[in-house]
Chains A and B, each alone.
Chain A
């Protein structure tokens, strides 16, 4: 059993962590380290089956194509969707931009509204801000409660017949708290709006079921879920993908090209112009195998134990202020943002770095949210399956050491 009290056996499966035993990597909300199985899968693909996909008749290309499409099937199973509903992108950001351009561009008209929340990462904020400016539509921002959680009553009330799109994060990358997805999605659909869920954070902590969730679009990045950087996923209802125009045009996404027009390829390939991240798709498949081999229950137990422990120890530190809810509640992810009186987050991160502790400092690409909570910058520690209680202890000691240096 992988208790945070004992030596963490999962850590050994991550070559970078195994090679750096002194490192406490606590920036998993930004990106996770990669297990051996992911690296091996990509290496094996390059060593045995690499070629471009969907282009040639020779065996190698067929093999590469089969593996790439097999990876798509794996993602579909992971999300409980159909393979044709899975579009590979570069990352979550590109997937959201795709939806804003291809779906928003077709559906949103002057005077319409796009509803986002104040909790959004810039990736799920700027594409909508730009779309609204382009279409003379209104960007409506649902506020947060004083504790940083989504103000659900206001958010629900802001959905109206004018709302064309609701873009909402499933889990805040700042406070680690989930949003009330089911009720927001139901409300949006009652008013005929479509919903895009930013799953960049949620996907690494909870099982996603596209059918049960009933969202129209769901996006995530491979690199935050033990997969390689350079691959992301857009999962979308097939009937919506069918009606949308392509985002980027070029090779692979087209059936026939004439001098003055072209016939697009079928979904999902219509949205995958150019040579895709082939090995990365195969790496993502291995990453999904990895997380499911750990098992959601074991992951939850481990994350909850660590989060409760870290919150408890941080609450006990004088001068440390936890952003968002200070106690554990169901669904809380192992993401804790905080400030330390008298120590700027950058200085704290530098001092922790000297102690081989990697945390994030800054605004976490959520400036509107941090500003709404009256912060310009903060520190963030985020954990996953390979982190330990001892690493939480090291973090606490490091914060105390920084307080000593800054005499607070």
Chain B
């Protein structure tokens, strides 16, 4: 099956959440060692809720669309719910089947986000 469905390509071309948030509570960067792509997630937390989440960076259609879907889905979630957001949830969000060779791309944003969330909570 062609993973490059209209919705995914549309996300890739016209992301809603590209950029960085103001007064970010944390910023986390993750590299994809397979291709050298870099993705940065910034988020602002207000009253234990993710008030705003955005991504920056360049990469393949899968990693970029995944980042856009993820940041949209996380916005408004409680920290607790966000922390429970799993790789499986990410795969569901993408809807297209992801081969194991593309897992890293699909999960890059989530990995960055979870890393940022963990480190920001380790600090306070």
In residues 26-71 of chain B, which contact A (Cβ within 8 Å)?
34-38, 58-62
Asked whether A376 lies within 8 Å of B37 as measured between CB atoms, the reply is yes
CB-nearest residue of chain A to B64: A344
A347 proximity list for chain B (CB < 8 A): 4, 60-62
B59 proximity list for chain A (CB < 8 A): 344, 346
Chain A at the B interface: SS class: helix
Is A239 an interface position by the 8 A CB rule? no
A361 proximity list for chain B (CB < 8 A): 35
B2 proximity list for chain A (CB < 8 A): 354, 405
Q: Which of A64-72, A97-105, A362-370 contacts B (4 or more CB under 8 A)?
A: A362-370
A370 to B34, CA, bound (A): 13
B38 proximity list for chain A (CB < 8 A): 376
B3 proximity list for chain A (CB < 8 A): 350
Is A46 an interface position by the 8 A CB rule? no
Asked whether A344 lies within 8 Å of B61 as measured between CB atoms, the reply is yes
In residues 82-100 of chain B, which contact A (Cβ within 8 Å)?
99
A377 proximity list for chain B (CB < 8 A): 35-37
A376 to B60, CA, bound (A): 11
Is B9 an interface position by the 8 A CB rule? yes
Type the 1/0 row for A331-373, where 1 means its CB is closer than 8 Å to any CB of B.
0000000000000111100110010000001110001001100
CB-nearest residue of chain A to B105: A346
Total cross-chain contacts (CB, 8 A): 47
CB distance from A356 to the nearest CB of B (A): 14
Is B14 an interface position by the 8 A CB rule? no
Interface size on A, residues (CB 8 A): 17
Is B16 an interface position by the 8 A CB rule? no
Is A406 an interface position by the 8 A CB rule? yes
CB-nearest residue of chain A to B102: A350
Asked whether A405 lies within 8 Å of B105 as measured between CB atoms, the reply is no
B4 proximity list for chain A (CB < 8 A): 347, 351, 405-406
A370 to B35, CA, bound (A): 11
A367 proximity list for chain B (CB < 8 A): 36
Q: Which of A345, A350, A363, A370 has the most CB of B within 10 A?
A: A350
CB-nearest residue of chain A to B3: A350
CB-nearest residue of chain A to B4: A405
A202 to B105, CA, bound (A): 32
Asked whether A376 lies within 8 Å of B62 as measured between CB atoms, the reply is no
With known contacts A354-B2, A376-B58, A406-B9, A346–B102 Cβ distance under 8 A = yes
A354 proximity list for chain B (CB < 8 A): 2
Can you list 28 A-B contacts with CB-CB less than 8 angstroms, sorted by A residue number?
A: A344-B35, A344-B59, A344-B60, A345-B35, A345-B60, A346-B34, A346-B35, A346-B102, A347-B4, A347-B60, A347-B61, A347-B62, A350-B3, A350-B62, A354-B2, A361-B35, A362-B34, A362-B35, A363-B35, A363-B36, A371-B36, A376-B35, A376-B36, A376-B58, A377-B36, A377-B37, A406-B4, A406-B9
Known: A361-B35, A362-B35. 17 other contacts (CB 8 A): A344-B61, A345-B35, A346-B60, A346-B62, A346-B102, A346-B105, A347-B4, A347-B60, A347-B62, A350-B62, A350-B99, A354-B2, A362-B34, A362-B36, A363-B36, A371-B36, A376-B36
